[in-house]
Amino acid sequence: MPPAESRDPSKSQDLFAALAFASRSFKNLNQVLELTTFVASQLTEADGSALVMFEPNGTLRLEQIHCAEMGRREQIRRLLEGSTQSLSREISSGEDFALGSSSTLVVAEEMLDYGAWLEHVLDRQFQQDLGSGVYLRGTPLLMRSTVRGRLYVFSHQSGYHWTENRQQLLRLVADQASVAIENDELTASLRRKAALDRELEIGSEIQSQLLPRSFPRLAGIQFAARCKTASQVGGDYYDFIEIKTQPGSPSRVGIVIGDVMGKGVPAGLLMTTMRGMLRAEVLNDHRPARILQHLNHVMYADLEQAHRFISLFYSDYDPSSGHLCFSNAAHNPTLLWRATSQELDYLDTPGQLLGLEPDGQFEELCVQLQPGDVVVYYTDGFTEAANARGERLETTGLESAVRYAALHFEDPQAILECLFDQVERFRQTAQARQRASSSLWSNLTEDELRLIPNNLELQGRLMATDDMTLVVMKVLAA
C-alpha cells in the first residue's frame, strides 16, 4: 500500500456506497460494523482499523478489528482487547490510570469532558500496545453530542502520512457507523415498546374478562360499579360473589375491591389467580377475616416471587339481617353514608397487604345497615386525582362528593355517575393546563425547557391520573 494518497476517487465513492447500502439493508449490526473497519482502512490506505464502543456504564468493548496482514490480526486483537478489558476493570473500580513508562497520571475527575478523557486514555494505551513504529489515528463516534465510541486506523508503513483528506474520510465513516448504531438502538427500542404494548393489551383483555358484567339481583339492595383505567390495563379489581345459604333463605353476597400492584400480563395473571382462590374461599362460607388470612397464605409464594402486593377489602352482606361484615388488607377504607344522620362512617380493620408476610393476621367487624344507607367502595385513583395547582382530591374531597351524591340521588347508578362527574370537574383545570402546557412547550428548545421551574414538572406528575374504580351499594327502603 503506498504511503501517499493515491486512491481513485471513484473507488472511494464505491466504498461509501457499499457502506451506505449495508447500513440500509443489513439487519445484523455486527455485519455493518465489520464492513465499517474494512472501509475505514481502505479509504485511508492504512494497514488496519479498530472500532471500540463506550458502554453506558463507562466500560469499553473492542467491537471490530480489520487488519490487512492476517498473520498479525490476532496478535493485534489480543493486545487491544487486553487493554480495553484492563481499562474497563480500572474504570469500574474507580482507580486512577498510570499511562506509559513515565507513569503519567490522568485522573478522571481532572478532565472536564469524560468522553474526551476516555479517548485520551484509550489513544495513549493503544499507541503503547502497537509500539512507537505504528502510526495511529482515531476519531469519535458521536451520537447526539455524546461520545459513544472511537474508530481507529493504524499503519506500519514508515512513510505513511496523515492528511486532512484522510481525516475527513475517517470522520465520514465514523458518522455512518454512528447512524447505523443509533438506528439499531431505535429499532430495538421500538421492538421493546411493541412487545410491552402487546403485553398491556393482553393484560387489558384479562382484566376485562375478570370484571363482572352484571350485578347481583338481591331483594333490598342495588349495586352500581365501574372501573376506569388510566392506561390500557391497570391493577384495579372488583367482584360480586353470590353466597348460597340454607334453602328458603336469601343468598348473601360478597363484595370485594382491591388493587394488584403492577400492570401488564404479570398483574393480570395474579389477578386471575387471586379471583379464583378468593371465590373458592368465599364459597366455603368462611368469615371475612379468615378468607383474607387463607388467601394471603396460599398466594404468598407467588406474590413474593413476583415482587408484588395486593390491597383488598372484602365484605359479606346478609340481606336477611342487614349485617355487613368486612375485613381489610390495607386497602382504602370503605365509606358508609347513613341516611338517618346524613353522616359518613369509615369501614376499616387492621390488616396488612397480601403478600407482605406469610402469616399475616386480619380482623373483622360488622355493621347494621338501614334503608337508605349507601356504601361506597373505591380505589386510590379517586383520592389521588389532582387539579392544576397540584392539590389532590384526598379523602376529604371524596367524602364531600359522597355526601352530595348520596343526598341528591336515590339510584346507585346515578350516585356513581355523580361521583365520577365530580372528580372529573375537579381535574378539568388540570387537563386544560396540561393541554396548554403541551402546546406551549412543544415550541421550546431543549435549552429553554431546562429553564422551566421544577414546580411545573412536579405539577405535571401530579396531574397524571391513576385507575379509578367505584362500587356503590344502596340499601333500598322497605
Same domain, yes or no: 99 and 160: yes
Give the domain extent around 289.
Answer: 211-440+449-475
Name residues whose C-beta falls within 8 Å of residue 345's C-beta, 6 or more positions apart in sequence. Answer: 335, 336, 338, 367
Query: So what's the pLDDT on residue 451?
Result: 43
The answer to whether the beta carbons of residues 62 and 74 sit under 8 Å apart is no
Distance CA 455, CA 267 (A): 33
Number of domains in the chain: 2
**Strand, helix or coil for residue 251:** coil
Same domain, yes or no: 147 and 76: yes
pTM of the model: 0.60
Same domain, yes or no: 295 and 159: no
Cα–Cα separations (whole angstroms), residue 99 to 96, 111, 134, 152, 390: 10, 15, 18, 19, 54
Distance CA 254, CA 348 (A): 16
pLDDT in tens, 179-238: 999 998 898 899 988 887 787 777 667 767 778 888 998 889 999 999 887 665 567 889
Place of cell 487491544: 80
Same domain, yes or no: 35 and 94: yes
Q: Residue 67 domain-assigned?
A: yes
Domain endpoint, select from 140, 157, 190:
190
Among 44-58, 72-86, 191-205, 357-371, which range has the highest average pLDDT?
357-371
Instruction: Indicate which CATH number applies to the domain containing 464.
Output: 3.60.40.10
Band of the pLDDT at 439, cuts 50, 70, 90? very low
Q: Residue 43 domain-assigned?
A: yes
Same domain, yes or no: 271 and 155: no
Q: Residue 206 domain-assigned?
A: no
* Dihedral, CA of residue 252, residue 225, residue 346 and residue 389, to nearest 10: 170
Same domain, yes or no: 174 and 314: no
Nearest to 363 by CA among 326, 309, 324: 326
Q: Residue 199 domain-assigned?
A: no
Distance CA 19, CA 330 (A): 60
Cα–Cα separations (whole angstroms), residue 18 to 47, 135, 271, 377, 437: 20, 26, 53, 66, 46
Same domain, yes or no: 115 and 237: no
